Amino acid sequence: MSKSVIIREFGGPEVMQFEEVEIGAPGPGEIQVRHEAIGLNFIDVYHRTGLYPNPLPFTPGQEGAGEVVAVGEGATEFSVGDRVTYSGALGSYSELRNLKAELAVKLPEGVSEEIAAASTLKGLTVYHLLHSTYALQPGETVLVMAAAGGVGQLLCQWAKHIGATVIGCAGSPEKVALARANGCDHAIDYSAQDYRIEVQKLTGGQGVDVVYDSVGKATFMSSLDCLKPRGMMVSFGNATGPVSIDNLGVLAQKGSLYVCRPTSGTYTATREALVESCDALFSAIQTGIIKPKVNQRFALSDAQEAHRALEARQTTGASILVP
């Protein structure tokens, strides 16, 4: 027997129950992983509330790292004792789970299970945002919303390494300080300032080349006003609600703008692409291009508390659940 978080109805944090479950042997093409650490991501909230619905009941969570304790038939790439990480596989809020082997990657030396669980999903997101969705170039200017968050901090660090001028927005003086400490050339407290005005001042009225916005509904239209003509809005999150545009003509009026709504799954749809992306991520961690940190740890049994903190914006950087 093992313990997992189970959701039987959509709703608030209270719908998550910590229960004993039976975990069978891994099937063909599967491995069994004993988690050492589990990633906590805002997409977990979307799944819990039903914004991104899954068939009920289900175990939430999409990211984890740990040790392979059993190998199913045909999963020849892995052996018992391997340290692995994964993202994009529902069911990580568990002590033990079976996982399709094609979704896992081995951890290299120097990357701990905690760092992997805190950064695989976030780090892959950042890698694809900066290298695939919009290939950021040295000398360009980028605006990062929620710059003190788990993705935001890594995004600012990596964008600065590329050679961009990085403007970050965060929601308090403390979070602004975090944004500056993680690579922002300029940081704006958008709870106290109109960031559109500040961005125009900082860019001499030109605007930025690209906006990376995970906040969603509350900032989407204002973020469009921060772009230079033919700039790109990359909307990759819905923390304040989903985004919609009633009239695409708005993009023309604001300067022939581009909008993209990416998801990492598109960029890791093949095994080859997944391994290549993870290799780039692990290299960035090992060489110090990005420095993931675990700022909050919650017991897996306290998943409700973790979600309340996440939704109340009481967390900074990365958080993990520990079985």
Domain CATH code at residue 15: 3.90.180.10
Residues whose CB falls within 8 Å of the CB of residue 271, separated by 6 or more in sequence, listed in order: 102
170: nearest Cα among 114, 150, 158? 150
The domain that holds 191 is classified in CATH as 3.40.50.720
- Mark whether 231 and 298 lie in a shared domain: no
Same domain, 231 and 287: no
Same-domain pairing of 308 and 289: yes
Query: Residue 107 gets which letter from DSSP?
Result: P
156 and 211, same structural domain?
A: yes
Mean pLDDT (10-residue bins), the chain, 323 residues: 96 98 97 98 94 96 98 97 96 98 96 96 96 97 94 96 98 94 96 96 98 93 97 91 88 96 92 96 96 94 97 88 97
CB atoms near residue 312 (< 10 Å): 8
Note the pLDDT of residue 120: 96
How much is the pLDDT for 11?
98
Residues 215 and 281 in one domain: no
The pTM score is 0.90
Number of domains in the chain: 2
Determine the pLDDT at residue 242: 83
pLDDT of residue 257: 97
| Co-location of 204 and 303 in the same domain | no
Is position 128 within any domain? no
Does 163 lie in the same domain as 78? no
Nearest alpha carbon to residue 222 among 188, 242, 194: 194
| Domain-located, residue 224 | yes
pLDDT at 60: 98
Residue 244, pLDDT score: 85
State whether 100 and 186 are in the same domain. no
Q: 83 CB contacts (<8 Å, ≥6 apart)?
A: 65, 66, 67, 68, 106, 107, 113
Residue 201 domain boundaries? 138-261
Q: Are residues 152 and 214 in the same domain?
A: yes
Whether residues 98 and 169 fall in one domain = no
What is the predicted pLDDT for the residue at 240? 81
